[in-house]
A and B are shown apart, each in its own frame.
Chain A
Amino acid sequence: MTDKSVNTPISLASVRQILKKRAFSTPTDSVLTFVVFGALAWLAWSLFDWAILRAVWSAENVAQCGKETSAGACWAVIDARHRLILFGLYPFDQHWRSTLAAVAIVATVVLSCIPLMWTAKRIITLWILGFTTYYLLMEGSLLGLQQVTTDGWGGLSLTLFLFSSVVLLGMPIGLGLALMRRSEMPFVRGFAVILIDFVRSLPLLVTLFTAAVVIPIILPSWLEGDKIWRVIVAFALFFACYQAEVFRGGFQAIPKGQFEAGAALGLTYWQTLGRIVLPQVFRHALPSTINMVVITFKETALVIIIGFFDIMASAKAAFGTGEWAPHYLEVYVFVAFIYWAFIFSLGQYGEYLKGRMAISER
């Protein structure tokens, strides 16, 4: 059984054969198969029954929730509260702006993932455009719309904004720190080593709490800036320090001979780096980088502790009233689905990149 069999079209007969061989070869196997698949089928059925068959869908029918359909999901809570979950405290009649802003951010991230955009000029233009669009739409006053200050931002748009600014800001800083850590100048290297180790030995929660709560007490008010920027910078620094270590792993996989060969060819440091070393570093660091990015997406939920109304906070607010308190499970399922959709896409993109890079390995 080599690669060949994978590509042959599967016929019904072969399926039967495989099943017989793998699942029903002995009586014990058969029993096990039945038990396991029975349990799985039962689980799937219960889930389907709960989520679809017995569910109450519309907010108008909320009275039926938990009544004759004793075990069904009450999606009425999503129907009534989805705007709170998706937009947080953003003014109700301005939600279209929050929607457009979220679309702008997703588009920016998606476009940044396309190889066509991977030149310095294009990617920087794209990021500036994307984030300016987001800011103009969300804040509004510069477009002549109703002004919404950053503490009115919330929900999915805020989560996406935090995530993308942290990753897009943190990635170059991380690369810079990794390069500094490899530097031959002791001062530069020492600075990077101390910074990376210092930040990595602090929990993210402490970093965020310091940025949001402690800094305003220490700094004079004109230096403070808005809470959201302080938090993004702190979070990005945190991300960068971890990402620098990921890049360092990538650098270490590259034999020293390649630098020497570059130098022997008369290439400058930056040419060697840009044309020979970095492309390989990225390839080696890719799996861990995707990991970091996915973790960061989930960690944005931590900002709830410093009073940001991200999607988790607004989900909690959504079931945090007397009417909807019994239906927290449905709200969590809804939010989990949103997280899953984004993180699964990120993972799939990682797979695509891996495949793309593998071509150059052949």
Chain B
Amino acid sequence: MIKKMTLSGVAAAALSLLPAIAMAESPTVQQIKERGTLLCSGHNGSYFGFVEVNDKNEWKGLDIDLCRALTTAILGDPDANQIVPLSWAQRFPALQSGDVDLIIKATGWTMGRDTELGLQFSLPYFFGGTQFMAHGELGITEAKDLDGGTICVEAGTTIERIAANYLSTIGVEHTMVSYESAAELRAAYVANRCDAFAGWGPNLAVLRATEIDNPDAHVILSDQLSSEPISAAMRQGDEEFVDVVNWMLAAMLIAEEEGITSANVEEMAANPPNPRVARLLGSEPGMGERLGLRDTWAREMIAAVGNFAEVYDRNLGAESPYNLDRGLNNLWSHGGVLYAPILD
């Protein structure tokens, strides 16, 4: 009898432990909740479209909006975050030392960062590749025509390596000139000191659209040297936090797929057109518990920040000065490569 009781007691205890394991809350999320603020990465200056400062001295941009979305998902308030200004060199040490909870800073997912630096990455939320931009008057359309030319690059970036690698692969003789900052690089190019310059696709388009008076005077060459997945980076060892960030991104993509916007989210939550939407918006319970969040986190997040299309259009796309085509960064159903994991 005693034995039996003990056994059943153990079984009960084990059973009661099970849901606890399933809901094991991420230590990072716990910390964020205790602190009441999410610490995101900013920039020491600005990075076109991704991290900028508006006329009211407030941060804005694609990366900032994703931070606001995550803040809403975890804390229920889009403004409960602190954007810590970081330089490029500083971002990984700052993450390791706990100055920020995660890095959302146009950061590419590389093997070195994933392994040696002890980071883990979320789903890619953006794809940007290295491309060349050349003066229109040269009349060239692809990198092969650059033979014997001078190529400018920003020093110490992956772009420098990728461009050198690519040009030697296709056998193009060239002189590489590196510049310390993007502004110097731009000035050198505009002053005709180089025939072409290599840069990150979105940056080139941004420059062509804003920097240079006559957009037709410059041509982005057709070669796509690389396509880098841009992800959020987190410290290794907190899988549950990665889950939260991944599903934050996934929810924004699913919302776009389902046509849920910041304008109609409440209506959709009240009358969900299908079970997937009902689950996503918390009209049907379960979504929150599995991540250690509230059931309505996605609804609040979309109400505050919008779906992925809204965020993109506001910061890089049609509603921004850059008017950057979505291209690869569209949903899979619209010819892009962005897709969400399955919401079951």
Interface residues of A (CB under 8 A from B): 66, 80-81, 83-84, 87-92, 151, 209, 212-214, 216-217, 221, 227, 304-309, 313-314, 316-318, 320-323, 325-326, 328
Contacts and interface: CB of A to CB of B under 8 A. Distances in A.
A322 B320 contact: yes
Contacts of B44: 304-305, 307-309, 313, 316
Chain B CB count within 10 A is highest, among A80, A84, A317, A318, for: A317
Chain B CB count within 10 A is highest, among A84, A217, A304, A325, for: A325
Contact of A325 (B42, B45, B84, B210): B210
Contacts of A320: 45-48, 52-53
Interface in B19-58: 42-49, 52-58
Given A305-B89, A307-B86, A316 B46 contact: yes
A66 B45 contact: no
B87 A84 contact: no
A169 B86 CA distance: 26
A318 B58 CA distance: 11
B96 A217 contact: yes
Contact of A307 (B48, B84, B321, B322): B84
B85 A87 contact: no
A69 to B, nearest CB: 13
Given A92-B57, A212-B90, A326-B210, A321 B52 contact: yes
A308 B210 contact: no
B66 to A, nearest CB: 18
B206 interface: yes
A84 B90 contact: no
Contacts of B45: 304, 313-314, 316-317, 320
A84 B55 contact: yes
B337 interface: no
B333 interface: no
A325 B57 contact: no
Contact of B98 (A89, A209, A216): A216
Contacts of B286: none
Interface in B322-343: 322
A227 B87 CA distance: 14
Contacts of A325: 48, 206-207, 210-211
A305 B46 CA distance: 13
A317 B183 contact: no
Given A151-B85, A305-B44, A322-B321, A81 B55 contact: yes
Given A88-B57, A320-B53, A307 B85 contact: yes
A213 B321 CA distance: 35
Interface string B173-212: 0000000000100000000000000000000001101110
A83 B54 CA distance: 11
Contact of B209 (A212, A304, A317, A322): A322
B226 interface: no
A83 B57 contact: yes
Given A213-B93, A309-B85, A322-B206, A87 B47 contact: no
